Structure 1
Amino acid sequence: MTFYYGHHNHYPVTPSPSLSAALLPAYNVSAAITQAFSRLARVNGSKSPDYTITVVTLSNGNTLLIVNGFTFKREVCVTDGKNTRWGCNELSRKKCDVYLYVNEKFEVVYMANTHTHDPILCNFDLKSIRTDRTEDFAPSEADFLEANLDGVYDDTSETFEDESIIDTAIAEENVALYIESSRGKPCLLLNGYKYRKAYKSKFGTRWNCSRNKNCLAYLYLSANDEITKCHEYMGMNRVRWVCSTEKNCKAFVSTTQDNFIISSSEEHSHDPPKYYLKPDHVSFSNLVVPESYNHAVIVRSKHWLVLKLNGFSYRKSKKCSVGYNWNCRYKACPGFLKLNEQDEILVTNEEHIHPPRKMIPQAVMVRSRNGNENLLFRKFAYRKQYNKGGKIRWVCSTSKYCRACVFSHENLQVISAYPEHCHEPPSYYKKIEGRLHDDENAKDDC
């Protein structure tokens, strides 16, 4: 029996032991219980004179007993230490008070009361435990199983005509399983995906994905349980790219995960923007590479980082595929920059809707007549007051009552200034060795 299915637009479901597993006998689904219920770690069992017991060990370490289709969980141990009490594991609102006692050989010693619900799981055939390891259990359990396995297999030998079907159901992935949902409806379980029965057609019986109504995956089964038609839905492998210039632009490009274009629409509602790319980087079409490129300076404002380039200020925005976006600080301005992790400018758009700000003149470090280092900025000299966190404060060195000051980085890059002096700027001339001297007749070189 060959099965095939298409791609889904969602992840496969994980069935739980509470799912009803009343499976059709023709498919030998009970042999692949570990595949039908992913939470089951291993299955082992035995057969008493009156009850068929299956011991199920879950992946979380808990153990369940399945007796004639009803599940039981362990409660307490009796005083003699040989028999254990197991209570019904029904999770519905109707409390079931059925309990039983089991000895070391997993034989039912005593069972009381009557169930108030239908069986949760089907009676699993013990043929399914042939490939399981008995050494994972306690020594007494392993000895009992080894002594009783042959007789158990003889009882079920007529049910399983071909043992290769059992091994295939356990080992291979592409094996379909018929199950019943919690509502009692038939479902098809294949590689973690559930299908529900839709209708019959000339191709056979159609089974649609039952997880999501928007999923387009389906298959057709013939009367001989062979797939005659299937649909591969590639929704999970498709990536849609929309225009990043305008929000209302309907242009898009659809690609695969490997960036192969599947379909596209180039009907833009605007003119293409002008970009230029920094040299020594990946080139894009319709991008202009400038001959000369100016370096940008990143400074820290009061609340965020600010990048200054050619008289324009940019603020760090969201992360992109190549690094980070820096948008112009002016409201509604389309100017932006794209920087990588090494703070290298890759792409920029300097078509601003406002003029650039006036650049602050660069300060110069000079030495006074007394040998002290001063900062010469806009015709006034300043002395260093303090350096705090890489930010230096300079105060006027001409008059101690002057409140003018300048803030700069350690590289003499002026951040802010209060240039209101209470006196006229002195006249200086600068010698070759960099010292300042008073000279009323000297020309102002600063």
Structure 2
Amino acid sequence: TFTDPDADAAAIAAMSRDELTETGPDLLRESRKHEARAVLAAAALADRVYRERLAGQSEVEVWGSVIEHADNLARAEVSLQFKVSRSKAGSWIALADLLKEFPLIRAAYLNGELSTNRASIMARAAQRGGDIDADTDSDSDSTDGDEAGMSFEEIVLDYGSRGTTDPVLSQQLDAALISMNPDSVIEDRDTITDLVGHVTITPDVAGHSSLDAVVPAHYGVFLTTQINALVDERTCRKDPRRVGSLRVIALGEITGVPGAHLDCECGQENCAKGGAARDESAETPADADDAAAWDDLLPEPADADAPAVELVEPVVEPEIPDPMDEPTCDEVPVAFGRALVVPGAPVLTVLKDPDGILVPRLQGYGPIDPDYAATLSEVAKTIHYPESARAAGPLIPQISDRPQAPPADPTGHGG
């Protein structure tokens, strides 16, 4: 009914499995339709507020700070009226503006076929590959005649219609873009490095700081593998703390923060990963007893009965300060941490195709351009794609009427 929440909840609870299978996807599609229109409405409201702010001002008066203030005012109004955060309001406005350039993706979004996040992934990919001529790049590797004349937006839409998760879709679109126009990807990477790459640490509440960074992909992979390896090495499953808390301590120890040390707090004496287990010496009590017994069997030194030599302390001459040296304050030593590298963590690994057909991949990240892969060859382990992947060939976009995947049955098959 969409008017009586209790009645709707009771009706859904009373539905059979077949009714739920039929009704659930329809409800999801309708909710996506409503959200898509809410996004467009938010962008339209922001545009009205922006224009009202700049109305009546001459071109001379409209400059950087004025435009920035108008943008902030528009986002604030959307945030207030739609009861969402300012960051979400900004992402909605940006998505709606971007969808104006890609009517096919916008139509699918308004039709309820795409979630907001999926539509955003597809729109950004279409923007990056907007200059690609699919006619020239979809060459003899494809045998589907329907692919001729495809725009990159159509390729993106085809990928988005497949039953993949959003992270997988993002990687597929990256791989398609790299295979079709690697130079543009290299240019984008250099631009991000020069203009966007940054590390910001800002004060947060209750004695915490917020850390945000845009770094090269292998930096992120390295930190991720190091943190995961340290958490796995130092803690067991019975540690009561959240995984997030463990990762924060691990990051501190890896980067050498003073006092940051990860140890298991499960409270069990026989914990295989606790500090006691790591700090145990190789010498056992039995080894100590054996060593003492051997010491008793050793002969006494030849001069054991000789009188003890009286130790004379040397005379320490007083230090006379050099009058030419300027007096300095006493330095207080500060205990700094030491950066840690976990030996057991996986090394950086790049998958490459010796024939140059498949797009290189950085394990733990995804597809990367060939130039980046060549740069990483100096610091990463390079392995070749398995023969099965090379025999399958590149991931070529195909236009086809694929039926929807069958639902999973109770035995765990299908889907």
Shorter-normalised TM range: under 0.3
Q: Please report the TM-score for the alignment, with normalisation by the length of structure 1.
A: 0.17
* TM-score, scaled relative to structure 2: 0.18
Higher-RCO chain (CA-CA 8 Å, sequence separation at least 6): 2
**Max radius of gyration: which structure?**
1
